[in-house]
Amino acid sequence: MANIISDETIEYVGILSKLKLNDEQKEQAKKDLAQMLDYIDKLGELDTEGVEPMTHVHPDVNAFREDVVTNGDDHEAILSNAPEEREQAFAVPRTFD
Amino acid sequence: MADKINEMTAVSLGKEIAAGRVSVKEALDSCFEMIEKREDEINAYITLDKDNAYKRAEDIQKKISSGELSSPVAGVPVAIKDNMCTKGLKTTCASRILGNFVPTYTSTAVENLEKAGAVILGKTNMDEFAMGSTTETSAFGVTKNPRDTSRVPGGSSGGSAAAVAADECIFALGSDTGGSIRQPAGYCGVVGMKPTYGTVSRYGLIAYGSSLDQIGPITKNVEDTAAVLEVISSYDKKDSTSLNRKDTAFTSALKEDVKGLKIGIPSDYFGEGLDPEVAAAVRKAADDLKAAGAEVSEFDLSLVEYAIPAYYTIADAEASSNLERFDGIKYGYRAEEYKDLHDLYKTTRSEGFGEEVKRRIMLGSFVLSSGYYDAYYLKALKVKALIKKAFDEAFSKYDLILGPVAPTTAPELGKSLSDPLKMYLGDIYTISVNLSGLPGICLPCGRDSKGLPIGLQLIGDCFKEDILIRTAYTYERMTR
């Protein structure tokens, strides 16, 4: 395997992904990630010097619109999906003391 | 007319309903009867919406009878993949993290169907967040292939394809990010189409890889595919990548005529890994079209083996960003035990997402991280540009490209997930179509020696759905 994923890297990936991994999962993730990167490294065989990266296939045109409200008040239905609500708002754990 | 209502095509059932020979209620009865009979084994649906369907049927029936409503799908029962939001009807994306999510709005594609009078039977099973090729990564159990229940239906729209193949609905909607409509259609022996990127609005489609995702029909024949695609296509201000197309009268392409059509077969699609029986069936289909007057020749498409690594880099990068919204605050699952806000996010996501989804979020986060962005993500976008260019060159010589939809017929249940990379390689013929935004259709072209359906894929240049529909229709009429 050409790519070796260090403990620090998988720790960092866990932070970026907002995922909690136990030791066993970390080892598996290191292996999976290294295997995929070995495979993706195949792209390096292609000379892409001077090639423009293509995000969208159709010409990019910004879709501007006026910022006006077009929908009704759905707050009750929306809040009914919230795991926890308080005083007509999403409830989250305390973020500072 | 087929013996049973649930076995009918959408267009023929729509005509019977319009003529008053079949009622909307009878159409529902027939589908729910089959669901009752086969669903325990097939598991095509995550959620059934029986009560609402019958309520809606009454309303639709009145409108049809009074002449207020007429469309090819008026009163016709449909199954919707469970990643399209439906107001008031649970939409899970086959994930624990959205296990109890009830949308407050309906996706535009489904809304277009509802306006045309189609009646939703329920929401179909899929790979979790559409990430997978077998419908085995669903949090709600696997779906079995109705043609052989020891095998997978394909994925990620496996529930939709299985529901159509088992006659548990008249037609279905799926979504296709890397082949998720076409490959399951192939495995289940039905017709599936991914239109040109931007043709069907993505508003209300729970995003996986936004630059690649497209909604499309899964149906029993080509005529239905054209009719349904015509109904769901629309310009939508709520999707900034939606195209304002004027050429969406797809049913006008239902003609038996391939004379003089230039068909290219990529010889690099017939290399290592392709099952010889699949190769033979696809070549036979090409011969049949040649006999009908098409000009068929082989060519080198090139870059075929680079499509998969480019795709998984781009799709996973977009997925890692799109799936950040699932944090246990606004909707869906929230972990019961956590220390603080940050721990709530992490624990919720770790418990809520399945293994394949986590694997892709991690790869996506990695390729977008500083220090690796240029080497991986940007490199993949450059390769995407090269792949698109290869197709542009091909379409300067050919009207359409013909090949297999997958290297094999449907694999056995439980054999694919242990080696993700091997599973990804099965997408080799479908994903470059998404990377290039092209339309692609899959239709049956025979069976292998085990009796499993083989899928034929036709790929067109952007906006050339009409050529695909015409060719597929001609082939279907010749072979059925």
Q: Beta strand pairing status for A85-86 and A89-90? A: antiparallel
So what's the pLDDT on residue B347? 97
Active site residue B418: no
> What is the average pLDDT across A54-82?
88
Q: pLDDT per residue over B92-116, tens digit each?
A: 999 999 999 999 999 999 999 999 9
Query: Which residues have C-beta within 8 Å of that of residue A33, sequence separation ≥ 6?
Result: A3, A5, A10, A13, B362, B363, B366
- In the block, tokens 């290219």 appear at B264
The model's pTM: 0.97
Helix (H, G, I), strand (E, B) or coil at B404: strand
Question: Is residue B401's pLDDT more than 60?
Answer: yes
Q: Is B420 on the interface with A (CB under 8 A)?
A: yes
Query: Torsions phi, psi of B224, nearest 5?
Result: -65, -40
Q: Is B108 on the interface with A (CB under 8 A)?
A: no
Mean pLDDT of chain B: 97
> What is the average pLDDT across B174-201?
98
Which chain A residue's Cα is nearest to B213? A56
Mean pLDDT of chain A: 92
Question: Is residue B172's pLDDT more than 90?
Answer: yes
So what's the pLDDT on residue A1? 59
pLDDT over 70, % of chain B? 99
Topology given in CATH for the domain delimited by A7-45: Histone, subunit A (1.10.20)
State the catalytic residue, choosing from B12, B30, B81, B138: B81
With beta carbons less than 8 A apart as the criterion, state whether B116 and B74 touch: yes
Query: Which one of A20, A55, A95 has the shortest CB-CB distance to B346?
Result: A20
Name the H helices within B323-415: 341-352, 355-368, 379-395
- Nearest CA-CA partner of B442 in B402, B408, B480: B402
So what's the pLDDT on residue B450? 98
So what's the pLDDT on residue A63? 79
So what's the pLDDT on residue A2? 83
When pLDDT is cut at 50, 70 and 90, the band that residue B2 belongs to is low
When scoring B383, B417, B419, B432 by the number of chain A Cβ atoms within 10 A, the one with the most, hence best to mutate, is B383
Q: Which uninterrupted H or E stretch holds B80?
A: strand B77-81
| Dist. CA B71–CA B76, nearest whole Å | 10
Would the CB atoms of A57 and B436 count as touching at under 8 Å?
A: yes
> What is the average pLDDT across B302-311?
96
Query: Torsions phi, psi of A82, nearest 5?
Result: -70, 135
So what's the pLDDT on residue B384? 98
| Dist. CA B426–CA B272, nearest whole Å | 12
What percent of the residues of chain A are helix, what percent strand, and what percent coil, each to the nearest 5? Answer: 40, 5, 55
Would the CB atoms of A43 and B420 count as touching at under 8 Å?
A: no
Query: Which one of A35, A42, A54 has the shortest CB-CB distance to B388?
Result: A54
Active site residue B302: no
User: Which residues are bridge partners to B48 per DSSP?
Assistant: B122
Would you give the distance in Å from CA A83 to the centre of its chain? 21
> What is the average pLDDT across A12-26?
96
So what's the pLDDT on residue B124? 98
pLDDT over 90, % of chain B? 97
So what's the pLDDT on residue B409? 98
When pLDDT is cut at 50, 70 and 90, the band that residue A57 belongs to is very high
So what's the pLDDT on residue B422? 86
Name residues 9-48 of chain B within 8 A of A (Cβ).
none
Helix (H, G, I), strand (E, B) or coil at B123: strand
- Nearest CA-CA partner of B173 in B217, B223, B120, B204: B217
User: Which residues are bridge partners to B295 per DSSP?
Assistant: B262
Domains of chain B: 5-253 (3.90.1300.10)
Question: Is residue A97's pLDDT more than 90?
Answer: no
When pLDDT is cut at 50, 70 and 90, the band that residue B150 belongs to is very high
State the catalytic residue, choosing from B71, B107, B157, B180: B180
Q: Is B460 on the interface with A (CB under 8 A)?
A: no
So what's the pLDDT on residue B412? 97
Considering only A24-28, A69-73, B148-152, B248-252, which range has the smallest mean pLDDT?
A69-73
So what's the pLDDT on residue B147? 98
> What is the average pLDDT across B404-416?
97
Name residues 260-289 of chain B within 8 A of A (Cβ).
none
With beta carbons less than 8 A apart as the criterion, state whether B125 and B137 touch: no
> What is the average pLDDT across B48-60?
98
Would the CB atoms of A42 and B305 count as touching at under 8 Å?
A: yes
> What is the average pLDDT across B319-344?
96
Q: pLDDT per residue over B254-300, tens digit each?
A: 999 999 999 999 999 998 899 999 999 999 999 999 999 999 999 99
> What is the average pLDDT across B116-134?
98
Dihedral sign of CA atoms B384, B388, B389, B390 in order:
positive
